[in-house]
């Protein structure tokens, strides 16, 4: 889920390269909670994907061009151990841990997953027709969800 939201936040920023976007705007447009967006933005800023500007008119923007944001690297940084099974997460209480040979096999599989994402950039997955472009800075913010058009 973390990578899922990370990609959405980055796409939102990438679709609005000329302006700073805010946590509130991202949460509203994407329909995800402000708390989740905040957590993701903080982490992406620390990892060098976003650059933040503080203050009332602040917000965040991509820290590097979308062509230079590799999806494999992004997933590796945002989900270090993937936590697919309990024994790969902190607080593991699986009783099988001492007698289970799954972890090394699973780690290899996660590596294969990430390698398949490598070489694909944020720019590669941004197709035309985005509903994420915001109105010019300064105008009242309106979430730009497309209406439920009947065809």
Residues of the shown chain interacting with a copy of itself in the complex, contacts defined by CB under 8 A: 3-4, 7-8, 11, 29-31, 71, 84-86, 93-96, 98-102, 105-106, 108-117, 120, 124-132, 145
Concatenating the DSSP letter of every residue in 20-81 gives -B-HHHHHHHHT--HHHHHHHHHHHHHTTSEEEE-STT-EEEESS-GGG-BHHHHHHHHSSS
In the bound state with a copy of itself, the residue whose beta carbon lies nearer, of 56 and 93, is 93
In the bound state with a copy of itself, the residue whose beta carbon lies nearer, of 63 and 114, is 114
In the bound state with a copy of itself, the residue whose beta carbon lies nearer, of 35 and 123, is 123
Rounded to a whole number of angstroms, the minimum distance from the CB of residue 87 to a copy of itself is 9
In the bound state with a copy of itself, the residue whose beta carbon lies nearer, of 127 and 140, is 127
Give the tokens for residue 18: 């000329």
Burial per residue of 62-80, b for 16 or more beta-carbon CB atoms within 10 angstroms, e otherwise? bbeebeebbbbbbbbbbbe
Rounded to a whole number of angstroms, the minimum distance from the CB of residue 112 to a copy of itself is 4
């Amino acid at each position: 889920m973390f990578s899922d939201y990370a990609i959405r936040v980055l796409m939102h920023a990438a679709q609005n390269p000329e302006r700073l976007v805010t946590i509130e705007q991202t949460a509203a447009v994407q329909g995800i909670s402000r708390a989740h967006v905040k957590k993701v933005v903080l982490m992406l800023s620390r990892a060098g994907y976003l650059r933040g500007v503080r203050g009332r008119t602040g917000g965040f923007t991509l820290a590097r061009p979308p062509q230079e944001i590799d999806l494999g690297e992004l997933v590796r940084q945002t989900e270090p151990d993937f936590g697919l099974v309990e024994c790969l997460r902190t607080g593991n209480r699986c009783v099988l841990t001492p007698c289970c040979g799954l972890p090394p096999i699973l780690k290899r599989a996660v590596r294969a997953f990430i390698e398949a994402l490598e070489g694909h950039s944020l720019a590669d997955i941004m197709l035309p027709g985005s509903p994420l472009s915001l109105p010019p800075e300064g105008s009242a913010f309106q979430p730009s969800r497309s209406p439920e058009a009947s065809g």
